[in-house]
Structure 1
Amino acid sequence: MKDEAIDYSDQLDGPSLIAFWGTENSDHDFRLGTREYDWHSHKRGQIFCVESGLIHVRTARGSWLLPPHRAGWIPPDVRHKVSVSGAMNGWCVLVLPEIGRDLPPHPCVIGISELMYALVRRAASWYDQDFLEPEQERIAAVLLDEIVQAPLEPLHLPMPSEPRLLRIANEILQCPEDSRTLDDWAAWAALSPRTLRRLILAETGLTFAQWRQQARLTHALEMLARGDSVAIIADALGYSSPSSFIAMFRRAFGDSPGRYLATRREK
């Protein structure tokens, strides 16, 4: 997003809800190319969606990916770091803390309904107003309700903080194809297998196998967004065949890799 959206995201005066819609030729909102935004936070909450490109968001709680046709939510005052890849088209909604109290307390990715899409389109037409009219406030309330009811997407990768566990996590992220067992990793980090099981569940809410699969899914989505083939991705992640990778992906997301990144809005 360009300066207009960034300025509004840190202003608590003005309309309670501000929406932007951008394309690669827009004068505001979204810019082209791969870029990084270092650690920062905003006074307003942000709901945003890309129709092309890929966003990687890092927070103190871990990281998550925003593929096309899903919406990301970052609550007010949550420090985050953002990496944007590709030519972005999409939208962003900025909300004051007092009207976003029912939204999730932590960053997340949600599915998009046709109604949500239409409401954002309507809200984007209110750009540059000093306040919302009563009818617009009602539409904004419906949009927020739609966001609250939206299904969560399993795109979060929680990161541990315990130093030995963090070493293992970073090594797996660097080499997602590494097929070492839990016992192997425990020995590598000078942990007992029992301690490794206990720590990773306590710190991430996932078992070791679940966490490694989520890490591989994160890599898979990044590679898919770059246009890599399923065969290349399966090999890079250590799967014995493309079909075994596709089966894992379908179990996690309910869709094949190709269909998952295609246009998909919840009806």
Structure 2
Amino acid sequence: MSSDVWPSGGRHLWASGGASAAQTHARGHLVYAATGVLAVRTERGTSIVPADRVAWTPAGCAHRHRAHGDTDMRIVFLPPSLARRIPDRPAVFLASGLAREVLLALTGPHDRDRDRAARARLLRVLVDELRETREQPLHLPEPRDDRLRAVARILAERPADNGTLAELGREVGASPRTLSRLLRGELGMTFYEWRTQLRVYHALVLLADGHDTTRTAHACGWANPSGFIAAFTDVVGTTPGRYRARAAPAVT
């Protein structure tokens, strides 16, 4: 990993598969993947950060980063006066065109020469932009129940597995009714919604690594690319082809 970091933010260039140790920061921070895909894992779950999203991690929240595809990670720390305007939990936001340009400006080579007042103005613009967008469904909550954790491991290892909840339940020793209740109670999702989120996460990784739409669709359990494209677009907000094109180019 190559890093260029200063007190207000910085830039990390990760090779695909690169990962950080668990860490915490005294200030909350935003991370943005100018290229590639970042996974930000906390005790509450995993936030997925493709090239059109921004992830927020509050102050004092232990977290790990992992890069999927060669990833240009930008990090911006927020002062408490601005951090309190963002949720006090991990979240993912849409990166508007303006938010993206501000993030790049705040983590570019000239930011260290920017005076404090100018940086503060840019940070306020950035937070205002994030508050104008709704949170995006690219946060995978971490199950607490051991049976759900076991199902999650199976689905992560076998994303193309089309087994029913009853079939998966037999593998982990739980009835489908119990698993459905746990999913609603712990994660606020149906089994279909949860598996779709897990599959889209896997698809983001494969696309960032250069796989095409058809191969990714089959690897993630879709029988045909059209169904995959529809599900991916519904969750991510853009087609797999457009996402792959945005994730690949280098940004300086």
TM (norm. structure 2) is 0.86
CA positional deviation for 1:128: 5.9
Render the CA deviation track for 1:59-83: whole Å, top value 9, x for unaligned. 1111122111322211111111111
Q: Give the Cα–Cα distance (whole angstroms) in 1 for the partners of residues 182 and 120 of structure 2.
A: 46
1:2–1:77 CA distance, 2 compared to 1 (3 A): farther
1:127 maps to 112
Q: Which amino acid aligns with 1:30?
A: H
Q: Give the Cα–Cα distance (whole angstroms) in 1 for the partners of residues 102 and 224 of structure 2.
A: 43
Q: Give the Cα–Cα distance (whole angstroms) in 2 for the partners of residues 87 and 121 of structure 1.
A: 17
Contact residue 110 and residue 150 of structure 1 kept, 8 A? yes
2:84 is equivalent to residue 106 of structure 1: no
For the residue of structure 2 that corresponds to 1:39, the secondary structure is coil
Identity among equivalent positions (%) equals: 32
CA positional deviation for 1:123: 4.2
- Structure of higher CA gyration radius: 1
1:211 maps to 194
Q: Which runs of 5+ in 1 are unaligned?
A: 9-17, 21-28
Q: Give the Cα–Cα distance (whole angstroms) in 1 for the partners of residues 3 and 246 of structure 2.
A: 28
2:13 is equivalent to residue 31 of structure 1: yes
Q: Give the Cα–Cα distance (whole angstroms) in 2 for the partners of residues 57 and 167 of structure 1.
A: 21
Q: Give the Cα–Cα distance (whole angstroms) in 2 for the partners of residues 202 and 212 of structure 1.
A: 16
Q: Which amino acid aligns with 2:40?
A: V
1:228 maps to 211
1:173 maps to 156
2:228 is equivalent to residue 245 of structure 1: yes
Q: Give the Cα–Cα distance (whole angstroms) in 1 for the partners of residues 136 and 244 of structure 2.
A: 13
CA RMSD of superposed structures (Å): 2.4
1:185–1:105 CA distance, 2 compared to 1 (3 A): same
Q: Which runs of 5+ in 2 are unaligned?
A: 248-252
Contact residue 57 and residue 65 of structure 1 kept, 8 A? yes
Give runs of ≥4 in structure 1 deviating > 6 Å.
Answer: none
| Count of residue correspondences | 244
CA positional deviation for 1:57: 1.3
CA positional deviation for 1:88: 3.3
Matched ranges for 1:31-70 at <5 A = 31-34=13-16, 35-70=18-53
1:73 maps to 56
For the residue of structure 2 that corresponds to 1:82, the secondary structure is strand
Q: Give the Cα–Cα distance (whole angstroms) in 2 for the partners of residues 32 and 254 of structure 1.
A: 25
CA positional deviation for 1:32: 4.1
Contact residue 44 and residue 95 of structure 1 kept, 8 A? yes
Contact residue 186 and residue 192 of structure 1 kept, 8 A? yes
Contact residue 68 and residue 261 of structure 1 kept, 8 A? no
For the residue of structure 2 that corresponds to 1:206, the secondary structure is coil
Q: Give the Cα–Cα distance (whole angstroms) in 2 for the partners of residues 118 and 112 of structure 1.
A: 9
1:78–1:39 CA distance, 2 compared to 1 (3 A): same
Q: Which amino acid aligns with 1:132?
A: R
CA positional deviation for 1:162: 0.8
2:162 is equivalent to residue 194 of structure 1: no
Q: Give the Cα–Cα distance (whole angstroms) in 2 for the partners of residues 103 and 153 of structure 1.
A: 14
Q: Give the Cα–Cα distance (whole angstroms) in 2 for the partners of residues 166 and 121 of structure 1.
A: 37
